Chain A
């Protein structure tokens, strides 16, 4: 199979439900050149070493024109400035440190930990919302609304505004997942409008909180005075929007992939029902086996890099296929087997190196609580479609719907 065909097949929607055989093919050449300026990396150690290499940039401004976006639709221009996800050191490090101060250790070690009770309540409320139904769509009824509600509570969005926040998040997420039958211009316009409205809304809230700070994260971002100084209002805005966008679709897909995988492996589901501690290694194995972020398509090289017998020239676009690295048999024995008892599970699901997922501890708790609650509360759950229908998106891959049936709810 030619290289070109292989990449197109990975992007091709027809292979969305099971791209893994294509990744096996891809790994036969750890670093593949596609056209003049695109290099695709698919083996564990090569991906990991590039994620820790300062000659690799996440800043779109370093990308040579024309290098990216031939196969993947580029993100539409955002009315917000790039947040630290798309910046390099030292700007990246300063902004990430300032965002971390009100989120995690050393300054705020308990913010995420203390959300446990609230997260469990949100999950239970969503399951109660199934009511008397014996069939639900796990995406629309459960895994989709959960992470947005969590980000709202984290940022301190007033309850009465949560519904608006949900609708912006929906439109922005839809923009990442072009509807093949829809009008692309129309969709781009809607996304732009939602981002602008979200920005204006947050901007108003920032004004409010700078005068009367609460103990939420937005207030802390606005008012903090640390060794790095203060965030500008634009920086607070783009950081808050990043938390929403980076933490949404990804977490939805982790919970949905998790539910799907459990229903395909009823013995593991039964074990989880009897012992909720299994949720912890189970979620790590899910992040290896069905990672919500399949590949990182936005890296570029700041210098020539020799790797696995290939030289990636300066200014090239590099795709790091995390999902292929996660199934590299050189790294994980029997990689295509879902096995929550693996003793060694250093997956690439949250990336690695300086951009490693900022929200990982929160995402872990969300997925652990959500999957445990489903296992406990659903009586006799089963899949109605296998494979389920997937979203278009090849990067943030996951089911669009996951219709399941069950006999009833346990309390």
Chain B
């Protein structure tokens, strides 16, 4: 599955990193690291995170592509 975090909206509440720790990680207090091609097995975690995001910055889409490794999404927030 594919997901995108709108880093302009993200304010570092870190709910995603609590609820889907296999997909989202905080890097320091202010930047978010995430896997934009999360594995299908992590769908439930990802949906929990997307729903709980207080600024609704996580967009989730279906695809069949092969999962990539964590790290591609490294980005600063705030």
Q: Which chain A residues have a beta carbon within 8 Å of chain B's beta carbons?
A: 97, 104-106, 109-110, 112-113, 277, 280-281, 284, 344-346, 350, 352, 356, 360-361, 364-365
Contact = CB atoms under 8 A, between A and B. Distances in A.
Contact of A113 (B19, B27, B47, B55): B19
Interface residues of B, number: 20
Nearest to B27: A106
The prevalent SS among residues of B at the interface is: mixed
Given A106-B29, A346-B55, A346-B56, 5 more contacts: A106-B27, A109-B17, A109-B26, A277-B47, A345-B51
Looking at chain A's contact residues, the main secondary structure is: loop
Contacts of B17: 104-106, 109
A402 B50 CA distance: 32
Contact of B21 (A110, A284, A364): A110
A280 B47 contact: yes
A277 B45 CA distance: 10
A109 B13 contact: no
Given A110-B21, A277-B44, A346-B56, A105 B14 contact: yes
A113 B21 contact: yes
A250 to B, nearest CB: 16
Given A97-B29, A280-B47, A109 B18 contact: yes
24 contacts: A104-B14, A105-B17, A105-B25, A106-B25, A109-B17, A109-B21, A109-B25, A110-B21, A112-B18, A277-B44, A277-B47, A280-B47, A280-B48, A280-B52, A344-B56, A345-B51, A345-B56, A346-B54, A350-B54, A360-B15, A360-B52, A361-B19, A364-B15, A364-B52
Contacts of A345: 51, 56
Contact of B26 (A105, A281, A346, A361): A105
